[in-house]
Amino acid sequence: MSARERPLLVIPGDDPVQIAGSPRLDTLGEHYEIRLFDNRPADDSEKVQRAAGATAMINSRGAVTWPGEVLRQLPELKFISTCGIGTDSIDLVACGELGITVSNIPGRTAPVVAEHAFALMLAISRKTSYFTEAIKRNDWHQVLSTSLAGKTLGVIGTGNIGTEMIRLSRAFGMEVMAWTFHPDAEKAARMGFRYVERDELFAGSDVVSLHVKLTDDSRHLVSSRELSLMPAGSLLVNTARGAVLDTEALVEALDSGHLGGAALDVYETEPLEADHPLTRCRHVVLTPHCADQTPEGNDLLNLGATENAITFLSGQPQNIVS
């Protein structure tokens, strides 16, 4: 197929770099004319300019959002793939109305993300960030930290990532209970955890880890009420989506001393503002939405997006969410 015959695929804001320089672009180039932008569009008008004439799009960064009013100005656009499992950056209702197929990448980087969530749990339980900052200030002192073996982990959401988190935690000697929108009794029996009601999970967990996608049903799923149910000194980990957790309620629980600490990779507003209240909380570990950002993780995501785009072009789209 000549370059002039190939449909246009746009990567509208590859910042920070996700797919630029990847050998997966060569594969895509066999099927599409590629137009890649290495910085984020400044506004909705620039999004329209960048995506004009495109049949397909790989939205490599979820920070670049696609509301309905933008999508309606792109009549030739027929396909969007994310570079991850989350689709909250895209107006799926508008895509359904406009006939735009949306695909995501479920499950491929679940072990990579769960490893990061587990690392966050270890970091906050053993206060590694707190001690590091103290030593850098020449403040050599010791306070008690938390040993996780034998403790109870409450997992909210038992999809691919939540399941991997359970596997790691069970191997570490933790007891696990879980709550999810769609419980799987066979999985629970096979992996050695139990499903409980949501209030029981919060009340009985030494650590709670969040692994649900962001929907209308999960927005602020964890707020003041749920945090108040958690035992004094317990810990919270969030690698799901920022808005699953009520940030204001979390800061209050940390400032009051009710929670012993929190470890977060996602935030209600990203990037996190320099003077955000979370940055002054003592026992927090903060990472910049990078749970799947390893060379292996990046390549798995790039491969998934490439396969999504090619299968769409062949008339057999995969991983369809809208």
pLDDT class of 2 with cuts at 50, 70, 90: very low
Domain count, the chain: 2
The phi and psi torsions of 305 (rounded to 5 degrees) equal: -65, -40
User: Does residue 102 fall inside a structural domain?
Assistant: yes
Residue whose tokens read 């590629």? 34
E strand or H helix at 118: helix 110-125
- Contact between residue 10 and residue 54 where contact means Cβ atoms under 8 Å apart: yes
Return the CATH number at 26: 3.40.50.720
The phi and psi torsions of 120 (rounded to 5 degrees) equal: -60, -40
Whether the link from the prior residue into 271 is cis, omega within 30° of 0, is: yes
- Contact between residue 90 and residue 59 where contact means Cβ atoms under 8 Å apart: yes
Q: Are residues 61 and 188 in the same domain?
A: no
Mean pLDDT, residues 228-236: 98
- Contact between residue 155 and residue 178 where contact means Cβ atoms under 8 Å apart: yes
Range of the domain at 19: 8-108+295-313
Q: Are residues 12 and 33 in the same domain?
A: yes
Mean pLDDT, residues 32-55: 98
Sequence letter at residue 118: F
pLDDT per residue over 161-186, tens digit each? 999 999 999 999 999 999 999 999 99
pLDDT per residue over 89-129, tens digit each? 999 999 999 999 999 999 999 999 999 999 999 999 999 99
Q: Are residues 280 and 147 in the same domain?
A: yes
Count Cβ neighbours within 10 Å for each residue of 146-165 and write b for 16 or more, e otherwise: bebeebbbbbbbbbbbbbbb
- 4-8, 47-51, 205-209, 240-244: least confident range: 4-8
Q: Quote the tokens at residue 86.
A: 């989350």
Residue 3 confidence (pLDDT) above 90: no
Mean pLDDT, residues 65-87: 97
User: Does residue 125 fall inside a structural domain?
Assistant: yes
Q: Residue 163 and residue 28: Cα distance in Å, rounded? A: 32
Q: Are residues 156 and 251 in the same domain?
A: yes
Q: Quote the tokens at residue 210.
A: 């969040």
Which neighbouring-strand residues pair with 90? 66
Please identify every residue annotated as catalytic: 241, 270, 289
**Proportion of the chain above pLDDT 90, given as a percent:** 97
